[in-house]
Amino acid sequence: MRTPFRRDVLAAIAVAVVGVLGLTSCADPGRDGAADAASISPDDPPGSVVVPTVPVASPTAHRIPSPSVRPTNKPSPKRSPARVQTSKAETPKPSGTIASRLHTIPASTRQLIVVYSSGYGTSVASFETFEKVNGVWRSKFGVMSARIGSKGFSDSHQEGIPTTPTGVYTIGSTMYGVRANPGVKYTYHQLVANDYWDENPSSSTYNSFVHGTDPGGYSEALWQTVPQYNYFAVINYNIPVKEATPARGSGIFLHVMGSGATAGCVSLTQSDLLRVLEWLDPGAAPRIVMAPSQNLGRY
């Protein structure tokens, strides 16, 4: 039977050995460090000390951290706010407008319309207006909703096919409408009975305004087409006419939107159209660009 004195002596010797060897207990991160200290068992007599069994760890397991990885209050030069790259700085932003990225527009043009869609097969399009200020293209009215031919855009439009021709075009010298002049800067003709647009490829006046007898073919009775022709501007596609078989098409207008797609023209709501027609100025040599968005780079 061990006496209390002998147990005390043995405990003291064990503590001394642990201290000399420099051993520590590996604390569980989820536990309080105090739970890893020597503890008293309720079954031991008063004054007993139980020294926990401590496994001998390899020297590398408790290596003192190198000063290079010790926590420090000094900011690392690589982490300095002045040198931190942000995602915004790393991501280039697109510059300019659609108009500024076009490269075939004459230098004299100071007003520009761009009509574009998501592809060739849709009649739904976007319509944007731009004006050149101090040599820089600026948006005028923002993006408007437009409709084009029921078969979308075409690079080879033909007479009688409901596609809208792609390309860059001027605006006709006269604007027209069933209703009175809303205040445009162009010459304006209010339509009357027997006003036609000649869309007969066999006619000598093909693809032009005529007054008198119906020229035949696909010719339109302009004064009877409402609300589409309440107001319209002529897009100078195939003007002057280029001889071709089949004919390259005629009567491409910018007019009031009806109930859906067009037969090849570009249409806007009447309120949007009036804003555009009143803004257009022949002195600014305006152009209109029409194409699917992925092909605008051609122009």
Assign 11 a pLDDT band (cuts: 50, 70, 90).
Answer: very low
Under the banding of pLDDT at 50, 70 and 90, the label for residue 269 is very high
The dihedral of CA 199, 123, 239, 195: what is its sign?
positive
- In tens, the pLDDT along 74-102 reads 444 433 334 434 333 333 333 468 999 99
Query: For the chain, what is the mean pLDDT?
Result: 79
Least confident of 34-43, 90-99, 191-200, 225-234: 34-43
The DSSP secondary-structure symbol of 85 reads: P
pTM > 0.85: no
Rounded to 5 degrees, φ, ψ at 50 are: -105, 120
Structure tokens at 87: 């995602």
Please provide residue 79's backbone torsions phi and psi, each rounded to the nearest 5 degrees. -100, 5
Mean pLDDT on 32-36 = 35
Whether residue 294 has pLDDT greater than 70: yes
Phi-psi category of residue 134: left, alpha or beta, with phi > 0 → left and psi -120 to 50 → alpha = left
**What percent of the chain lies above the pLDDT cut of 90?**
68
Residue 43 has pLDDT above 60, yes or no: no
State residue 42's pLDDT score: 36
Q: Which of 109, 252, 83, 102 is nearest to 172 (CA)?
A: 252
Looking at residue 97, its pLDDT comes to 87
- Dist. CA 299–CA 286, nearest whole Å: 15
Average pLDDT for residues 185-191, to the nearest whole number? 98
Q: Which residue has the higher pLDDT, 76 or 158?
A: 158
| Helices (runs of H) and strands (runs of E) counted in the chain | 3, 15
